[in-house]
């Protein structure tokens, strides 16, 4: 009995596990736990028979003075623990590096050239076949050197064992394996592989495990690292990362295409995942993918706070919030960028008509599409058509349009005379947005929560939306003045002996600053009053909603400091500060 092998874990595998756990913990979801657990189970179950065979046939061995003693099918427990901890570490690294990637963008439609829409991505099936041929070749070569019972035995055993798993994963998930950014695939394979090569070099030198001289080539990658060991760690990390990628590929198909999977579960069974992976790629909805692509690029261009927050959401809710943002942004821009009040009014009318037909269960989808294609500019169409209106009630959307109508009234009168008017306006343009975010969250994660509980949380969300809108107004006093708008209540201006036009002409100075602080005070009071409700949301949404709210409220905190940085007339939160805020609220 000895502690040598156990010490390898104490020194080299457990410390990175602890660091990775601490780093990923604030982002961990139920699906992540499921994924890690699933892969560890597959890794342990598939490696035990193989490893046990290697030990029983003497390909490698462990001197009795380096292990604790207990064994499972002749495999020392330390070795079984190795399968668990390696899978855990590599999986966590993959999850960390993949968090910000919006994976549905890497799904590709594949259609036969006979399909009316023509041949999309005709190269993909070729990539699949090429990869399959390569892997079959590797398996065949492994088999031939294994059968020769010579120095290629250990290499052959690795290839014949790992090859078929890789072939299966490749055949199901080659699109993702090829398409995802290398930081999501190559890096989580390469980093742990090189690390384990170094650990292995040290272990082999100390004799913690020993490879039989007759079944190895005797070739070294570097001094002390047998080529077989190098291949083994590379192959196992490839299996873990490709397994994670395949899992994510399945989740993406499941959550992205309501035409194939109308109501997917949050934590799907392995059978459902397989169904998603084998679903024909010709059934992927191209319009849906284009809509998501538009939504991501719109969010990236227009809102740094919500873009950061969106990367902390996972799965279905991330797509739905992106699509909701896209809709709100497009509607707001159509109205804001109109060349006259009449044109803006006409856009509101058309959006209202769109809602009317989209929510009318008796009108065919094709008729709704036709209406949008005929009435809206090309770049706005996907934002309207992809709105997840089945998960949203109609009233907040209608209220949002009322809010836009209040904006239009600036052309004829001053719609915000009192603090109450300001609150009504903020409720319409932002309270409604918060309501819709929360409706989506409850629909996806907690549909069965008693309606009364949902309502009280949604109401608190509405107040939070108002707080965010106050921050928005406080930030944009000068920007709004440039287009002739003042959202500060007329009553406040009169108290300070200012007229509406005074502020339009001079939106700076001590008096305006005082009003800005007054508005921010109101914003922070509402924020403090409603932030507790975030902790009542389903667990998956709490951290990300904190990020969304806090990174926007941080603009308010910046505005309260002297000498804040202004870009394009607006106070901005430096990127490092935004990241710090996000990290700290995720860790709460
Ligand atoms: C994470 C993620 C992708 C969230 C998406 C949130 C979303 C759908 C935002 C829509 C934004 C939008 C364009 C709305 C149109 C009306 C409008 C302009 C509202 C103002 C937003 C400011 O956006 P921005 O700074 O880009 O706008 P301009 O520069 O003025 O053009 C608003 C200030 C409203 C934002 C309000 C929310 C996102 C609601 C936040 C509250 C919650 C999420 C609920 C909190 C929950 C509880 C229980 C308290």
- Which of these, 50, 420, 98, 451, lies nearest to 244 by C-alpha position? 98
Q: How far apart are CA 318 and CA 28, in angstroms?
A: 15
Average pLDDT over residues 501-509: 93
Ramachandran area for residue 58 (φ above 0: left; ψ -120 to 50: alpha; else beta): left
Task: Give Cα 223 distance to the centre of its chain.
Answer: 42
Average pLDDT over residues 220-226: 92
- Give bridge partners of residue 264 from the DSSP assignment: none
Q: Which run of H or of E encompasses 529?
A: helix 510-530
pLDDT value at 8 more than 80: yes
pLDDT value at 453 more than 50: yes
> How is residue 504 written in tokens?
């339009």
Instruction: Tell me, letter by letter, the H, E, C secondary structure of 162-217.
Output: HHHHHHHHHHHHHHHHHHCCHHHHHHHHHHHHHHHHHHHHHHHHHCCCEECHHHCC
Residues 6+ apart with CB under 8 A from 410: 484, 485
Q: How far apart are CA 345 and CA 97, in angstroms?
A: 45
Neighbours of 72 (CB within 10 A): 13
pLDDT value at 6 more than 70: yes
Q: What is the DSSP string of 442-473?
A: HHHH-TTS-HHHHHHHHHHHHHHHHHHHHHHH
**Helix, coil or strand: residue 221:** strand
pTM: 0.92
Residues 6+ apart with CB under 8 A from 528: none
Q: Which domains does the chain have, with CATH numbers?
A: 4-104+124-283 (no CATH), 286-586 (1.10.600.10)
Average pLDDT over residues 205-234: 89
- Give bridge partners of residue 225 from the DSSP assignment: 222
Specify the ligand 1 atom closest to the Cα of 570: 29
Neighbours of 375 (CB within 10 A): 17
pLDDT above 90: percentage of residues in the chain: 85
pLDDT of 119: 46
pLDDT value at 246 more than 90: yes
Q: Which of 318, 328, 578 to mutate to test the pocket of ligand 1 (most atoms within 8 A of CB)?
A: 328
Distance 571 CA to ligand 1 centre (A): 17
Specify the ligand 1 atom closest to the Cα of 463: 49
Distance 516 CA to ligand 1 centre (A): 20
Q: Which of 306, 454, 544 to mutate to test the pocket of ligand 1 (most atoms within 8 A of CB)?
A: 306
Q: How far apart are CA 582 and CA 183, in angstroms?
A: 22
Q: Which run of H or of E encompasses 479?
A: helix 477-482
Specify the ligand 1 atom closest to the Cα of 318: 3
The predicted complex's ipTM stands at 0.95
Of the given ranges (114-118, 185-189, 412-416, 556-560), which has the lowest mean pLDDT?
Answer: 114-118
pLDDT of 118: 45
Distance 342 CA to ligand 1 centre (A): 26
- Which of these, 206, 185, 201, lies nearest to 233 by C-alpha position? 201
Specify the ligand 1 atom closest to the Cα of 530: 49
**Sequence-ordered alpha helix ranges (H) in 226-364:** 227-256, 270-278, 286-302, 304-310, 316-336, 341-358
Q: What is the DSSP string of 391-409?
A: GS-HHHHHHHHHHHHHHHG
Q: How far apart are CA 330 and CA 424, in angstroms?
A: 22
> How is residue 60 written in tokens?
């490698």
**Helix, coil or strand: residue 498:** coil
- For tokens 């965010």, what's the residue? 468
pLDDT of 213: 87
Q: What is the pLDDT of residues 158-193, one digit of tens each?
A: 999 999 999 999 999 999 999 999 999 999 999 999
Q: How far apart are CA 146 and CA 45, in angstroms?
A: 22
* Cβ contact 555:527 at 8 Å: no
Q: How far apart are CA 122 and CA 134, in angstroms?
A: 20
Q: How far apart are CA 136 and CA 141, in angstroms?
A: 9
Mean pLDDT of the chain: 93
Better-predicted residue by pLDDT, 206 or 300: 300
Task: Give Cα 45 distance to the centre of its chain.
Answer: 30
Helix, strand and coil in the chain, % to nearest 5 = 75, 5, 25
Average pLDDT over residues 100-117: 79
- Give bridge partners of residue 61 from the DSSP assignment: 210
pLDDT value at 345 more than 80: yes
Q: How far apart are CA 248 and CA 38, in angstroms?
A: 13
> How is residue 340 written in tokens?
């006259």
Neighbours of 73 (CB within 10 A): 12
> How is residue 229 written in tokens?
């060991």
Q: For the chain, how far is it from start to end, CA to CA, in angstroms?
A: 44
Burial status of residue 519 (CB atoms within 10 A of its CB: 0-12, 13-18, 19 or more): buried
Distance 191 CA to ligand 1 centre (A): 38
Per-residue pLDDT band for 113 (boundaries 50, 70, 90) equals: low
Burial status of residue 565 (CB atoms within 10 A of its CB: 0-12, 13-18, 19 or more): exposed
Q: Which of 316, 387, 436, 472 to mutate to test the pocket of ligand 1 (most atoms within 8 A of CB)?
A: 472
Average pLDDT over residues 42-46: 96
Per-residue pLDDT band for 123 (boundaries 50, 70, 90) equals: confident
φ, ψ of residue 72 to 5 degrees: the values are: -125, 115
* Cβ contact 466:426 at 8 Å: yes
Q: How far apart are CA 262 and CA 268, in angstroms?
A: 13
φ, ψ of residue 257 to 5 degrees: the values are: -115, 85
Tell me which residues have their CB closer than 6 angstroms to ligand 1.
Answer: 299, 302-303, 306, 309-310, 321-322, 324-325, 328-329, 332, 429-430, 433-434, 437-438, 457, 460-461, 464-465, 468-469, 472, 530, 533-534, 537, 545, 548-549
Q: Which of 324, 430, 526 to mutate to test the pocket of ligand 1 (most atoms within 8 A of CB)?
A: 430
Average pLDDT over residues 73-87: 95
Q: Which run of H or of E encompasses 521?
A: helix 510-530
Of the given ranges (106-120, 249-263, 296-310), which has the lowest mean pLDDT?
Answer: 106-120
Q: What is the pLDDT of residues 477-491, one digit of tens each?
A: 999 999 889 999 999
Per-residue pLDDT band for 69 (boundaries 50, 70, 90) equals: confident
Neighbours of 297 (CB within 10 A): 12
> How is residue 546 written in tokens?
């904190």
Q: How far apart are CA 428 and CA 407, in angstroms?
A: 11
Q: How far apart are CA 354 and CA 348, in angstroms?
A: 10
pLDDT of 120: 57
């Amino acid at each position: 009995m000895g502690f040598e092998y156990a010490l390898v874990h104490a020194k080299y595998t457990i410390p990175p596990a602890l660091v990775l756990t601490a780093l990923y913990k604030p982002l961990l979801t139920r699906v992540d736990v499921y994924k890690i657990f699933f892969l560890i189970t597959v890794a342990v179950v598939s490696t035990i028979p193989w490893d046990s065979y290697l030990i029983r046939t003497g390909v490698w061995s462990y001197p009795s003075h380096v292990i604790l003693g207990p064994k499972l099918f002749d495999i020392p427990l330390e070795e079984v623990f190795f399968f668990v901890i390696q899978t855990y570490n590599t999986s966590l690294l993959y999850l960390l590096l993949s968090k910000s990637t919006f994976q549905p963008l890497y799904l590709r439609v594949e259609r036969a050239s006979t399909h009316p829409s023509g041949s999309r991505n005709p190269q993909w099936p070729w990539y699949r076949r090429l990869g399959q041929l390569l892997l079959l070749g590797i398996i065949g070569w492994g088999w031939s050197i294994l059968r020769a019972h010579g120095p290629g035995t250990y290499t052959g055993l690795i290839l014949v064992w790992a090859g078929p798993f890789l072939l299966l994963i490749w055949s199901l998930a080659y699109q993702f394996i090829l398409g995802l950014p290398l930081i999501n695939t190559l890096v989580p394979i390469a980093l742990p592989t090189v690390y384990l090569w170094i650990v292995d070099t040290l272990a082999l030198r100390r004799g913690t495990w020993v490879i039989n001289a007759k079944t190895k080539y005797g070739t070294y990658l570097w001094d002390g690292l047998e080529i077989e060991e190098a291949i083994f760690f590379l192959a196992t990390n490839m299996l873990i990362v490709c397994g994670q990628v395949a899992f994510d590929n399945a989740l993406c198909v499941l959550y992205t295409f309501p035409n194939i999977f109308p109501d997917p579960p949050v934590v799907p069974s392995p059978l459902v995942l397989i169904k998603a992976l084998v679903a024909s790629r010709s059934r992927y909805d191209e319009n849906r993918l284009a809509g998501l692509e538009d939504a991501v690029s719109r969010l990236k261009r227009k809102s740094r706070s919500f873009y950061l927050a969106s990367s902390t959401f996972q799965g279905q809710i991330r797509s739905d919030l992106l699509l909701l943002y896209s809709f709100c942004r497009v509607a707001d821009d159509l109205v804001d960028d109109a060349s006259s009040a009449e044109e803006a009014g006409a856009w509101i009318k058309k959006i209202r008509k769109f809602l009317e037909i989209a929510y009318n269960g008796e009108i065919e989808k094709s008729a709704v599409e036709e209406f949008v294609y005929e009435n809206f500019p090309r770049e706005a169409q996907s934002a309207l058509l992809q709105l997840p209106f089945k998960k949203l009630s109609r009233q907040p959307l209608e209220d949002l349009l009322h809010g836009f109508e209040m904006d239009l009234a600036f052309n004829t009168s001053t719609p915000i005379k009192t603090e109450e008017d300001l609150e009504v306006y903020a409720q319409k343009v932002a309270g409604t947005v918060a309501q819709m975010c929360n409706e989506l969250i409850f629909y996806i994660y907690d549909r069965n929560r008693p309606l009364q509980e949902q309502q009280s949380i949604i109401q608190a969300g509405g107040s939070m939306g108002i707080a965010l809108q106050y921050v928005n107004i406080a930030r944009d006093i000068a920007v709004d003045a440039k287009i002739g708008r003042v959202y500060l209540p007329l009553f406040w201006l009169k108290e300070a002996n200012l007229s509406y036009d005074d502020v339009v002409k001079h939106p700076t100075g001590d008096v305006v600053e005082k009003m800005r602080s007054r508005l921010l005070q109101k914003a922070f009071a509402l924020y403090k009053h409603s932030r507790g409700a975030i902790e009542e949301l389903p667990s998956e949404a709490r951290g990300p909603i904190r990020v969304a709210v806090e990174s926007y409220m941080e603009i308010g905190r910046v505005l309260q400091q002297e000498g804040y940085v202004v870009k394009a007339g607006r106070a901005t939160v430096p990127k490092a500060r935004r990241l710090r805020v996000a990290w700290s609220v995720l860790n709460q």
